[in-house]
Amino acid sequence: MNLDVSLPARNHARRLQEAGLRPTRQRVRICEQLFNGIDRHFTAEELFNELNHSAQGESLSLATIYNTLKGFTEAGLLSTLTVDSGKLYYDTNTSHHYHVYDASGRCLADLDTTSMKVQGLPDLPEGHEIDRIDIIVRTKPKA
Amino acid sequence: MNLDVSLPARNHARRLQEAGLRPTRQRVRICEQLFNGIDRHFTAEELFNELNHSAQGESLSLATIYNTLKGFTEAGLLSTLTVDSGKLYYDTNTSHHYHVYDASGRCLADLDTTSMKVQGLPDLPEGHEIDRIDIIVRTKPKA
DNA sequence: CTGATTGCAAATGCTTTGCATACAA
DNA sequence: TTGTATGCAAAGCATTTGCAATCAG
């Protein structure tokens, strides 16, 4: 049973190897959960809960999730984002883009960067150039 | 000695009262350190070190600094800002503005918002409106 | 085999809380 | 006097680390 997962698993293994990471069981498992074609935002703990509440497969320790996500980020498979202090969000979308955050629902989504532009940027300090610009559009329910 | 601090101290007391906060010794001391006409960014721990390394006056506990800064923020005397996860920056500038952050020097500065404009903002989710837009321009040393 | 990875528990860093004491009004 | 603030130590999160056991190549 479940022979149909073998091909995706092989893709994940390749993805990991191309990123310079050894395709261990845990890393492949995390890839399966994350890279299914739909971009998503999540915290380490959310991923931990998903993996451990799903019936299939063994559980991963929270420390391993943290370490693996950190490794994925350093390898360029994920990007990170801080909306408010004290919690780090991971993002499967690694291209440059902006975010919308709805504080009341604690929900985070991508904004398409291509249509957006920042005008009137002041001069930067001597000897510095722009690395990147982070934008978070914070929304609230309409009055 | 030090009679010249009495007038600023009275100003700080008034500032606190107008914000609905009782002007205790500690709160006035923190105001003296923060509100001297120059906008600044700092963490609770930085302020703690400044206050306790300065020769004058008694020391404040770190917990009191945290609690006081939180109270000041709720009262509108300070704003907060998260550059990277795990550390909260306070800002004496409470008007709407953007920031530049130099990762290599860990230094944070204001950007004048009046000259800046964000173009091409996509539609927001149904029933939502913009609360505010946060922008952090991340710089790096010129190659 | 052999070095890289994992799991766990303990450690860390930042921030908040509980509660007795001190203080402003 | 009387309720509000403070100080301290302890608790609380999110995250990292040390190290022995396990696994991939």
Q: Is residue A48 part of a domain?
A: yes
Return the closest nucleotide (C1') to the Cα of B82: C14
Q: Which tokens in the block code for residue A48?
A: 């931990």
> What pLDDT score does B84 carry?
85
Which pLDDT belongs to residue A2? 38
pLDDT tens-digit series, residues A57-90: 667 899 999 999 999 999 999 999 999 878 999 9
Q: Please determine, for residue A12, whether its predicted confidence score (pLDDT) is greater than 50.
A: yes
The answer to whether residue A12 sits within a structural domain is no
CA dihedral A31, A34, A35, A37 (to 10 degrees): 160
What pTM value is reported for the model? 0.88
Would A26 be classed as within a structural domain? no
**pLDDT given at position B8:** 67
Q: Does the residue B9 lie in any domain?
A: no
Domain presence at residue A76: yes
CATH of residue B136's domain is 1.10.10.10
Please check whether residue B58 lies inside any domain of the structure.
yes
Chain B residue numbers with beta carbons less than 8 Å from the beta carbon of A86 are 85-86, 88
Query: pLDDT averaged over chain B?
Result: 87
What confidence score (pLDDT) does residue A5 get?
46
Q: Considering the domain boundaries, does residue B31 fall inside one? A: no
Predicted confidence at residue B37, as pLDDT, reads 85
Helix axes B25-34, B44-53, angle to 10 degrees: 100
Q: Determine, yes or no, domain membership for B14.
A: no
- For β-strands B128-141 and B98-102, DSSP reports them as parallel
pLDDT number for residue A29:
94
Round to whole Å and give the CA distance between A41 and A117.
23
Report the nearest residue to nucleotide D9, CA vs C1': B63
| Domain count of the fold of chain A | 1
Tens digits of per-residue pLDDT, A81-136?
Answer: 999 878 999 999 999 999 999 877 678 999 877 888 898 888 887 888 999 999 99
For residue A50, what are the domain limits? 39-113+129-143
- Concatenating the DSSP letter of every residue in chain A gives --GGGHHHHHHHHHHHHHTT----HHHHHHHHHH-SSS--EE-HHHHHHHHHHSSSS----HHHHHHHHHHHHHTTS-EEE-SSTT--EEES--SS-EEEEETTTTEEEEE-STT-EEE-PPPPPTTEEEEEEEEEEEEEE--
- Shortest Cα distance, chain B CAs vs residue A101, angstroms: 10
Residue A7, pLDDT > 90, answer no
CA torsion sign, B71 to B73 to B78 to B83?
positive
Q: What residues in A contact B100, CB-CB < 8 Å? A: 124-125
What number of other Cβ atoms are within 10 A of residue A101's Cβ?
20
B119/A119 CB distance under 8 A: yes
User: Is pLDDT above 60 for B55?
Assistant: no
